[in-house]
Chain A
Amino acid sequence: MKQRFSWLLIVVGWLLAIPVAHAVSVAPVLQSREGMVTAAHPLAAAAGAEILEKGGNAVDAAIAVSLALGVVEPYASGLGGEGYMVVVMADGRELAIDFRSTAPALADYVNLDKAGKLSKVKYTPKGYCVAGVPAGIGQALELASLPLSVLAAPAIRLAEEGFEVSETFARVNMDAFEILTENAPEFLDEGMPWMAGSVYRNPALARTMKIIAEKGVDAYYNGELADNLDRFMQENDGWARKSDLQAYRALTKKPLKGSYRGFEISVPGSPVGGPRILATLNILEHFNLAIMSWDDPLAIHIMQEALILTSLDQRRWMGDPATNTYIPEKGYISKDYARQRLMQIDLSKASDPSLWYSQRVGDPGPYENGANYIDVMLEARQKPVIEGTVEDEPPSTTHFSVVDKAGNAVSWTQTISSFFGTGNMVDGYFLNNELGNFKGEPEEGSPINLEPGRRPRTTIAPLVVRKDGRVRWVIGSPGAGRIGSTIVEILVNVIDFDMSLENAIRAPKFTGYDAYKEIQLEDDFPAKTIELLLEMGHEVKRYQHPDLYFGGPNAIEVGEDGLLTGVGSIRRLGGAASPQIQTGK
């Protein structure tokens, strides 16, 4: 009897200890109460859900997704890239981990002058800035509950066993065929682009991830992977050296906070696009958008003009706070500054792009210490106009969102800048070309002049929205200059227009960004909306709907009752995934 009882205990213990089979649900749109992951590729989302299934928390899952995206979307992000994440833990901890890349010590204007134009240099090994993804993972591990070897396993499996090439993969591969033929012919399928439906494997990347899983992320900055990169750079006339890698650090900060109509919004600070999201929403808060609709030309006009104003300010003032002495970020996101800025919007007509840089760049500096807009405006009447200039923006990135059943949330955007970065591959991953986000030529007072150790400015803006302290949405998007407008439009769609998250993402998008002199929009707005926008003086450029150009947001909504709704990027064939069976824990 005693023996039989012992056997029973063993069997029960075994059943409790061993996780049930790792089945996960994957779909473009999904609902669950067990946790949710959304990413630009269903396999990457599934990798995160697999970790949730194993009992990992949202940060564990996010690390697994980050690595898996580097395998299934090698053109958009990976170990050779960088990014930013906002983490909101259910116990109240909040972190913004800055794993942006830094310019190597040899990257200065003297050397750039010898190398040629930045627009060309960025497609050579010189375009690489020291990658932050491994260090970002390292920082995130402090909030994780499972070892890196477990978190890396799904990505390693995908790299070794291979996966079916998606339409998106095939398309971006075709677009980059020339640079890949020149820089990374080993990536191609016997000299040709990978076609949808074929199976892509990356054993070199699997080996690299095994090294990192076994030895830790320091292997990238200080070990054999650093040696390999150093050798590649020296042999191919690049600038990064092992000493640059050794000097790199990811930075853990507090998220920047703002609000919109009673919702609390946590974003990453400068040098990325988080402050601009807050600055734009501060302006929009003064308009009663809720009585309009997503296709109302007046709503579009107001949002576009607000986005232009904030992008002009971002370009002039925002940059790496660690290497710039003056970044007026507090003023830029102050509610009072927004009041001054909204006065610039003419409700009846579009602003003139030829005057944007000479007459519409603001000065958030006086608002740094919480000044009142009336005082600032009266005092500033005689101040000279400040000009800004435009530079190219990178076209690609990837974003993913995770919420676990405990309520921990991760909003993580990572990138290698252009699709395929420099086009060069080392140890199975592509090198970012973030160097292209610096000024091609020095400009006095610019916060993005090229400087060794500086982080370039980009538009990424992973964010978490809460109401009364509870997470409601986790949102972010790729899309370069479209990131800010796409995220603001999604927020306005869910908050003002009361759309479901799916409809908010699916709804046609338009741009508001100073690099584009016209409103670029997806072609499903009513004809009369477009006619009135033209009448107001906007130039309109149409794209098919949906178009990847407008970004690929992957977002999660947490319902009032705790139900999680994940929406994978409709424009990038992304997916949502959730654990199917509980671990029994």
Chain B
Amino acid sequence: MKNSIFRVILACSVFAVFSNAALASDVVLTPFGQSPDAMMVKVVLKKLGVDARLEKLLQADGLMDEKVLITVVAGSSKGLGEAGIDKDAEIERMQAVTAAARAKGMKTLVMHIGGKGRRGTLTDLFIVEAVPMADQLIVVEGGDFDGLFTKLAGESGVVLLPANSVRETDAPLQLVLTEWGVIQP
């Protein structure tokens, strides 16, 4: 009897663990501006059980059967240089990827996780392009110090979810990805 109860509990636990995890192909992640911040989002997603695919130079035809596109916006001159791409080409790449994602019925989540330190002329250029493409927006504290995200989100009708730190983006990520069917409630 005891053994049977233990088996049921074990089976329920295993089901709970696996039902909470997403399929590997549910989320595709790409930086918008070629900063390394997308890698950090990948780590947070992994902790949530979401094994996202990270493609630094994701192209429109590189989208598979994912449900969600996450673009992590922050400009890095070094990153753009290493990727062999300039800011105009980066904007064109993201416009094409986001349009293709929308055509496929995917949701787009835009994130800015670098706080005030990751704001500046180059990043702001990408932010202005990124926010109107979003279905949801997550911004880490400090990133909206001058209200730019609030303003753009308001104009585009996008909901802005704040987080205190990169680590604490797990809560809004869980909320959004649950709503979008990536994480099972």
Residues on A lying within 8 angstroms of B by beta carbon are 167, 170-171, 174-178, 181, 191-193, 195-196, 395, 542, 544
Between-chain CB contacts (< 8 Å), 8 pairs: A174-B36, A174-B40, A176-B36, A177-B36, A177-B39, A192-B166, A193-B40, A395-B78
Beta-carbon nearest neighbor of B119 in chain A: A544
Which one, B44, B76, B115, contacts A175 given CB within 8 A?
B76
Known: A175-B78, A181-B39, A192-B40. 19 other contacts (CB 8 A): A167-B117, A171-B117, A171-B118, A174-B40, A174-B117, A175-B35, A175-B36, A177-B36, A181-B43, A192-B43, A192-B44, A192-B166, A192-B167, A193-B40, A193-B166, A195-B166, A195-B167, A395-B78, A544-B120
> B114 near A174 (CB under 8 angstroms)?
yes
Is B90's beta carbon under 8 Å from chain A?
no
Tell me which residues across on chain A come within 8 A of B37, comparing CB atoms. Answer: 174, 177
Q: Which of A191, A195, A196 contacts B43 (CB 8 A)?
A: A191
User: Is B4 in the interface zone, CB < 8 Å from A?
Assistant: no
Tell me, yes or no, whether B121 is within 8 Å of chain A by CB: yes
Contacts A193-B166, A195-B165, A195-B167 given; does A174 touch B118 at CB 8 Å: yes
Quote the shortest CB–CB distance from B114 to chain A (angstroms).
6
- What are the residues of chain A within 8 A of B121 when measuring CB–CB? 542, 544
A542 contacts which chain B residues (CB < 8 A)? 121
Instruction: Collect the chain A residues with CB atoms within 8 Å of residue B167's CB.
Output: 192, 195
Contact with A along B150-169 (1 / 0, CB 8 A): 00000000000000011100
B residues 92-135 with Cβ under 8 Å of A? 114-115, 117-118, 120-121
| A342–B52 alpha-carbon span in the complex (Å) | 58
A572 vs chain B, min Cβ distance (A): 13
Contact of B39 among A167, A170, A178, A196 (CB under 8 A): A178
Q: Which residues of A contact B165 (CB under 8 A)?
A: 195
- A544 to B119 alpha-carbon distance, docked (Å): 11
Q: Which residue of A lies closest to B117 (CB)?
A: A171
The smallest beta-carbon distance between A534 and chain B, in angstroms, is 18
- In the complex, how many angstroms separate the beta carbon of B49 from the nearest chain A beta carbon? 15
A177 surroundings in chain B (CB, below 8 A)? 36-37, 39-40
**Chain B 137-156 against A: per-residue CB contact (8 Å), 1 yes, 0 no?**
00000000000000000000
Q: Return chain B residues, CB-CB under 8 Å to A181.
A: 39, 43
Cβ < 8 Å to A, chain B residues 1-60: 35-37, 39-40, 43-44
A170 & B117 in contact (Cβ 8 Å cutoff): yes
A171 to B143 alpha-carbon distance, docked (Å): 13
Q: A544–B115 Cα gap in the complex (Å)?
A: 17
Q: How far is the CB of A334 from chain B (nearest CB, A)?
A: 37
* Nearest chain A residue, comparing its CB with the CB of B56: A178
Report the Cα distance A16→B5, complex, angstroms.
Answer: 78
Nearest-neighbour CB distance to chain B for A436, whole angstroms, equals 14
| Alpha-carbon distance A175/B117, docked complex (angstroms) | 11
CA distance A177 to B114 in the complex (A): 12
Rounded to whole Å, the gap between the CB of A359 and the closest CB of chain B is 27
Q: Which residue among B37, B114, B117, B118 has the maximum number of chain A CB atoms within 10 Å of its CB?
A: B117
Q: A residues within 8 A CB of B44?
A: 192
How far is it, in angstroms, between the C-alpha of A542 and the C-alpha of B125 when the chains are bound? 14
* Complex Cα gap A195–B116 (Å): 12
Residues from chain A with Cβ under 8 Å of B76 in the complex? 175
Q: Which 6 A-B pairs have the closest CB atoms?
A: A171-B117, A178-B36, A177-B36, A178-B39, A195-B165, A191-B43
**Complex Cα–Cα for A217 and B13 (A):** 56
Q: Which of A181, A191, A192, A193 neighbours the largest number of chain B CB atoms within 10 Å of its CB? A: A193
Report the bound CA distance from A544 to B123 in whole Å. Answer: 12
The CA of A192 and the CA of B113, in the complex, are separated in Å by 12
What chain B residues lie within 8 Å of A395 (beta carbons)? 78
Tell me the B39-92 residues at the A interface (CB within 8 Å). Answer: 39-40, 43-44, 76, 78
- CA A251 to CA B32, docked complex, whole Å: 47
Q: How many angstroms between the C-alpha atoms of A367 and B36 in the bound complex?
A: 49
Min CB gap A229→B, angstroms: 28
How far is B118's CA from A191's CA once the two chains are assembled, in angstroms? 20
Q: Which residues of B contact A167 (CB under 8 A)?
A: 117
Cβ–Cβ < 8 Å partners of A170 in chain B: 117
CA distance in complex: A175, B115 (Å): 13
Residue of B nearest to A395 (CB): B78
Q: How far is the CB of B52 from chain A (nearest CB, A)?
A: 15
* Complex alpha-carbon distance, A174 and B112, angstroms: 13
Closest to B166 in A: A192
Minimal beta-carbon separation of B141 from chain A (angstroms): 10
CA A170 – CA B115 in complex, angstroms?
10
Query: Which chain A residues lie closer than 8 Å to B118 at the CB level?
Result: 171, 174
A196 to B165, CA, bound (A): 10
- The distance in angstroms between the C-alpha atoms of A170 and B40, with both chains bound, is 13
Residues of chain A contacted by B114 (CB below 8 angstroms)? 171, 174
Closest to A176 in B: B36
Report the minimum CB–CB distance from B83 to chain A (whole Å). Answer: 13
Bound-complex Cα distance A129 to B85 (A): 32
| Min CB gap A527→B, angstroms | 16
How many Å lie between the Cα of A170 and that of B121 in the bound state?
Answer: 20
- Give CA–CA (A35, B112) in the complex, Å: 44
Q: How many angstroms from the CA of A293 to the CA of B103 in the assembled complex?
A: 57
- Write out the residue numbers on chain B whose beta carbons fall within 8 Å of the beta carbon of A175: 35-36, 76, 78
User: Closest Cβ of chain B: how far from A218's Cβ, in Å?
Assistant: 38
Q: Separation in Å of the B131 CB from the closest CB of chain A?
A: 21
Residues of B within 8 A of A191 (CB): 43
- CB nearest neighbor in B for A168: B117
Hey, which chain A residues are within 8 Å of B166, CB to CB? 192-193, 195
Rounded to whole Å, the gap between the CB of B18 and the closest CB of chain A is 23
